[in-house]
């Protein structure tokens, strides 16, 4: 038996869902809630296997409570709102599935509830398409960031600084004065100046700003 | 009824292959001749889909896709193209749905990095799924079998804040 909680502010929708789920032998509607806050209280108490969650509701909407609900139950979002941000937000906060009203036939609702109860997921066509593209964009961004970080690492290695000079350079980059660098590295200011002199030569820089710029991958003249 | 609502009812109709203008054409790329025939039969039985090409060979698949420009290509991921990316090649001419045995979350998420619009996982494909997946993808949406949906929703949960470098946190953002 799969225990289901129905969360929707529209009593007609709740009634229709209850009636439909009741027609399946393996579904047991254990409760209903008209808003997000009530849903959290009920889910905490009843720990239903699956919660059908609408988004737009008074008091607290679905997105606000989905993470809390997900601690007690598997959340299957069932809403007419199919905005990309909402789909991504619900899934990031713990929803196991996303169904958009009008994109599925009744039998699919049962499959979705069963899938989510069994630890699988369920995404209606729009949910699937949004999720695929969000994940793909994210992976592309991460590859880009990784390759930039890699390039910067190589560039820095190319300058041939000693490890001490790197220490000085890193403190310089975050805006420390010579005196502050000296204190941090337990050096005299004169030694710091010496290191800076060598750093400027290796980085082909004539002043601190230019050195920082080059160390960060800039092309400053 | 607001227009958006009506639009969505159209989606439900589209998934079942109700009239939608030009017929959707499909290329089937699968290593097993009997499975190829079964997939073809199922798509054809829907009445709204035209199977324009069937092959188990990767080179022929790319050639057929280029020549026939099918709306959707169904690609079994056992058909591989060493050195070249078959999915990329097919995706140049059509929308790609991949058929796979992969159930491991990482494997599915990796698979979806390729330009595919859908992923049907063997063992989780119920009779209407094939046709509905093709219709969903042909209408610009996506399709994921329950185990693939589990994999991507897991990846979404893991992606707060950054998924690809779990051990690394966001330290690389601290680079000066």
- Structurally, what CATH architecture does the domain formed by A147-215 represent? Orthogonal Bundle (1.10)
pLDDT at position A103, please? Answer: 83
Cβ <8 Å between B147 and A120: yes
Q: What is the pLDDT of residues A184-205, one digit of tens each?
A: 999 999 999 999 999 999 999 9
Residues contacting residue A64 through CB under 8 Å, at least 6 positions apart: A36
The residues pairing with A118 across neighbouring beta strands, listed in sequence order, are none
Q: Report whether pLDDT(A32) > 70.
A: yes
Q: Residue B25 sits in which domain range?
A: 3-156
Closest to B103 in 3D by CA, of B122, B77, B126, B84:
B122
Tokens of A122: 């369920």
Cβ <8 Å between A125 and B155: no
Burial per residue of A154-172, b for 16 or more beta-carbon CB atoms within 10 angstroms, e otherwise = eebeebebeeebebbbebb
Q: What is the pLDDT of residues B15-42, one digit of tens each?
A: 655 555 678 999 999 999 999 999 999 9
Cβ <8 Å between B109 and A152: no
Instruction: Show residues of chain B in contact with A101, CB under 8 Å.
Output: 8
Whole-number Cα distances in Å, B26 to A129, B132, B144, B167: 19, 13, 18, 43
Smallest CA–CA separation between A12 and chain B, in Å?
16
Fold of A2-132: Rossmann fold (3.40.50)
CATH of the domain at B58: 3.40.50.2300
Tokens of A150: 């890699």
Q: Which of A94, A132, A145, A208 to mutate to test the interface with B (most CBs of B within 10 A)?
A: A132
Tell me if chain A has a CB within 8 Å of the CB of B85. no
pLDDT at position A221, please? Answer: 47
Residues contacting residue B152 through CB under 8 Å, at least 6 positions apart: A91, A121, A123, A128, A131, A132, A135, B108, B109, B112, B144
Smallest CA–CA separation between A98 and chain B, in Å?
10
Nearest CA in chain A to B150: A121
Q: Which of A125, A145, A168, A169 to mutate to test the interface with B (most CBs of B within 10 A)?
A: A125
The full set of domain ranges for chain A reads 2-132, 147-215
> Looking at residues A4-10, what average pLDDT do you find?
96
- Pairwise CA distance, residues A113 & A75, whole Å: 9
Could you give the number of structural domains in chain B?
1
Residues contacting residue A159 through CB under 8 Å, at least 6 positions apart: A202, A203, A214, A215
The residues pairing with B120 across neighbouring beta strands, listed in sequence order, are B99
Q: Report whether pLDDT(B176) > 70.
A: no
Confidence of residue B62 (pLDDT cuts 50, 70, 90): very high
Nearest CA in chain A to B171: A149
pLDDT at position A27, please? Answer: 96
Q: Report whether pLDDT(B83) > 70.
A: no
State chain B's maximal CA–CA distance in angstroms: 61
Whole-number Cα distances in Å, A157 to A41, A160, A162, A192, A221: 57, 6, 10, 21, 20
Confidence of residue A84 (pLDDT cuts 50, 70, 90): very high
Q: How many residues does chain A have?
A: 221
């Amino acid at each position: 038996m799969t225990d289901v909680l129905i969360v929707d502010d529209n009593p007609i929708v709740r009634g229709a869902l209850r009636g439909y789920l009741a027609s399946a032998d393996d579904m047991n509607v254990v409760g209903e809630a008209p808003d997000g806050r009530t849903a959290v209280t009920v889910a905490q108490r009843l720990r239903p296997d699956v919660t059908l969650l609408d988004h737009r509701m008074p008091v607290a909407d679905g997105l606000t409570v989905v993470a809390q609900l997900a601690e007690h139950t598997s959340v299957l979002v069932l809403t007419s709102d199919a905005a990309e941000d909402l789909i991504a937000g619900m899934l990031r906060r713990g929803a196991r599935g996303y169904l958009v009203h009008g994109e599925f036939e009744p039998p699919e609702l049962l499959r979705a509830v069963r899938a989510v109860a069994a630890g699988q997921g369920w995404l209606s066509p729009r949910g699937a398409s949004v999720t695929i593209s969000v994940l793909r964009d994210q992976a592309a961004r991460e590859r880009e960031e990784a390759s930039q970080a890699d390039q910067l690492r190589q560039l820095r290695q190319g300058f041939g600084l000693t490890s001490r000079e790197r220490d000085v350079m890193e403190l310089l980059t975050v805006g420390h004065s010579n005196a502050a660098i000296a204190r941090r590295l337990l050096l005299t200011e004169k030694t710091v100046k010496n290191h800076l002199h060598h750093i400027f030569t290796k980085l082909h820089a004539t002043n601190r700003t230019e050195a920082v710029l080059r160390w960060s991958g800039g092309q400053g003249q | 009824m607001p227009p958006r609502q009506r639009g969505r009812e159209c989606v439900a109709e589209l998934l079942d292959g109700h009239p939608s203008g030009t017929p959707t054409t499909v290329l089937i790329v699968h290593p097993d001749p009997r499975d190829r025939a079964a997939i073809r039969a199922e798509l054809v039985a829907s009445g709204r889909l035209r199977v324009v090409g069937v092959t188990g060979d990767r080179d022929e698949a790319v050639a057929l896709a280029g020549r026939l420009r099918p709306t959707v290509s169904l690609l079994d991921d056992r058909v591989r193209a060493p050195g070249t990316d078959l999915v990329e090649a097919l995706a140049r001419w059509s929308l790609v749905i991949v058929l796979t045995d992969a159930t491991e979350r990482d494997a599915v998420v990796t698979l979806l990095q390729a330009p595919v619009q859908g992923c049907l996982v063997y063992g989780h494909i119920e009779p209407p799924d094939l046709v509905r997946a093709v219709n969903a993808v042909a209408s610009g949406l996506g399709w994921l079998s329950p185990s693939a949906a589990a994999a991507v929703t897991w990846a979404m949960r893991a992606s707060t804040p950054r998924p690809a470098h779990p051990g690394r946190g966001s330290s690389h953002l601290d680079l000066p």
